[in-house]
């Protein structure tokens, strides 16, 4: 078998294998990975890349190595879900950097975190004054969680005694010009009703690229050639 063909076949097999491994490990975002999971991801990727490019390596042994490296974090995740003590050992726990508005230098030194790094992370959270922070902690995934002082938090409806109704996410009714039957039923509509609403505004369904409706019954249309927002107050709320 020509080397180039062998490389292509090995690469395709490894890509499929990595896809299966990724599905098994779950949908954690990169920022949510633990340190161990991050190391495993790098190692698995390196093994796969080496196997794809080096025909002298045994594909069978490489796949066995991938399975082992993938099984370990899967087993650790399963045990972590059942044991809080084990989870604290593997994933660690958050470290408090600011408490009651006071910077805890000892904890920062423990995590090898400088004041410059802390200020940079605060700026990423749109916080430009340490004095405005009530509490901040470094989570096990490396993210900084920040709680502003009450006077610096955004005003909420409940702060001024206004009660508001529940708000749900918008429902996508059309995507890529195609009707989504399941979502139409969820919104209490059928295809004919939606088409009539679109036509009432002077458009045809084949002109609509995307359509969605929010919890108040307001419909928004995105046309193939331009964007237009159409609202229909006569829609029943969902």
SS3 103: strand
Q: Where are the beta strands (DSSP E) in the chain?
A: 95-99, 102-103, 133-138, 144-148, 171-175, 178-179, 208-213, 219-223, 227-228
Percent of the residues in the chain that have a pLDDT greater than 90, as a whole number: 27
Residue 2 pLDDT: 62
pLDDT at 201 over 60: yes
The mean of the pLDDT values for the chain is: 81
What spatial distance separates the first Cα and last Cα of the chain, rounded to whole Å? 61
Q: Which residue pairs from 75-82 have beta carbons closer than 8 angstroms and sit at least 24 positions apart in sequence?
A: 76/36, 77/25, 77/26
Tell me how far apart the alpha carbons of residues 73 and 63 are, in angstroms, rounded to a whole number. Answer: 16
| pLDDT band of 233, cuts 50, 70, 90 | very low
Phi and psi (nearest 5°) for 222? -120, 115
pLDDT of 172 over the 80 cut: yes
pLDDT value at 34 more than 70? no
Q: How many residues does the chain have?
A: 238
**Per-residue model confidence as pLDDT tens digits over 214-231:** 877 888 888 886 544 444
CA distances from 186 to 71, 181, 189 (A): 39, 9, 8
**Residue 126, helix vs strand vs coil:** coil
**Would you tell me the crossing angle of helices 59-82 and 35-53 to the nearest 10 degrees?**
170
Return the pLDDT at 70: 78
Nearest Cα neighbor of 177 from 214, 201, 203, 215 is 203
């Amino acid at each position: 078998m020509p080397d180039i063909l062998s490389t292509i076949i090995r690469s395709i097999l490894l890509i499929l294998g990595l896809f299966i491994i990724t599905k098994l490990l779950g949908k954690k975002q990169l920022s949510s990975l633990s340190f161990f999971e991050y190391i495993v991801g790098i190692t698995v990727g390196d093994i796969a890349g080496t196997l794809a490019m080096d025909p002298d390596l045994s594909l069978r042994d490489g796949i066995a190595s991938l399975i082992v490296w993938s099984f370990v974090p899967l087993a650790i995740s399963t045990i972590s879900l059942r044991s809080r003590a084990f989870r604290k050992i593997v994933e660690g726990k958050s470290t408090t950097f600011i408490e009651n508005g006071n910077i805890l230098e000892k904890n920062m030194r423990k995590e090898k975190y400088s004041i410059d790094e802390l200020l940079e992370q605060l700026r990423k959270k749109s916080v430009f004054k340490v004095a405005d922070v009530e509490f901040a902690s470094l989570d096990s995934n490396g993210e900084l969680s920040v709680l502003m002082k009450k006077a610096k938090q955004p005003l909420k409806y409940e702060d001024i005694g206004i009660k508001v109704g529940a708000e749900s996410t918008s429902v996508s009714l059309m995507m890529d010009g195609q009707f989504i039957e399941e979502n139409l039923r969820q919104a209490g509509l059928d295809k004919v009703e939606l088409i009539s609403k679109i036509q009432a505004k002077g458009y045809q369904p084949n002109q609509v690229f995307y359509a969605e409706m929010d919890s108040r019954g307001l419909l928004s249309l995105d046309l193939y050639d331009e964007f237009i927002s159409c609202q229909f107050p006569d829609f029943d709320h969902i």
